[in-house]
Amino acid sequence: MSEITLRVNGETHTLDVDPSTPLLYVLRNDLGLRGPRFGCGLAQCGTCTVLMDGRAIRSCNRPVSRSTGEITTLEGLPENGELHPVQQAWIDEQVPQCGYCQNGQILTAAALLSYSPNPSDDEIREGMNRVLCRCMTYYRIQSAVKRAAEAMAEGEDR
């Protein structure tokens, strides 16, 4: 065990854990967060996604000692008490079925739109491709990403 400092959703946490512990288990079991979930432990499915310094990363096989950036989980995505436009689009499009993977879908979409604010259909498919959904909500996800992009563009025009 050793002391690890993590920045999560704007707060600093100091924890006494084995530095090789995957970030996922620290977020879930030590910090009590629910957004990132275990899906494969192999960084193949995206269910455990978090943002680190704005980039979507997989927390299931990243040692906590290498998680030194500013981490944002699904809980930390809203700003000033308002849902992120991607989250709102997810509700407007009624995207989730079981919802287990949607943490990864939403955070990956948020990251995608942060560096590609107006993605084409192909860019959405490619940008989202590594996040799997076994309820197969892909069709609605892709509509919701477009809706969020429009909402964010309108928000900037205002």
Chain residues binding another protein by CB under 8 A are: 1, 18, 21-22, 25, 28-29, 32-35, 37-42, 44-45, 47, 73-75, 77-78, 83, 87, 90-91, 94-103, 106, 121, 124-126, 128-142
Q: How far apart are CA 77 and CA 87, in angstroms?
A: 8
- Smallest separation, CB 5 to another protein (Å): 19
- Smallest separation, CB 20 to another protein (Å): 8
DSSP assigned state of 134: S
- Smallest separation, CB 52 to another protein (Å): 17
- Phi/psi of residue 91, nearest 5 degrees: -75, -45
Closer CB to another protein, 57 or 85, in the complex: 85
Inter-residue contact 112 to 124 (CB < 8 Å): yes
Where residue 81 falls (left for φ over 0; alpha for ψ -120 to 50; beta otherwise) is left
Closer CB to another protein, 101 or 113, in the complex: 101
Q: How far apart are CA 17 and CA 22, in angstroms?
A: 10
- Smallest separation, CB 110 to another protein (Å): 12
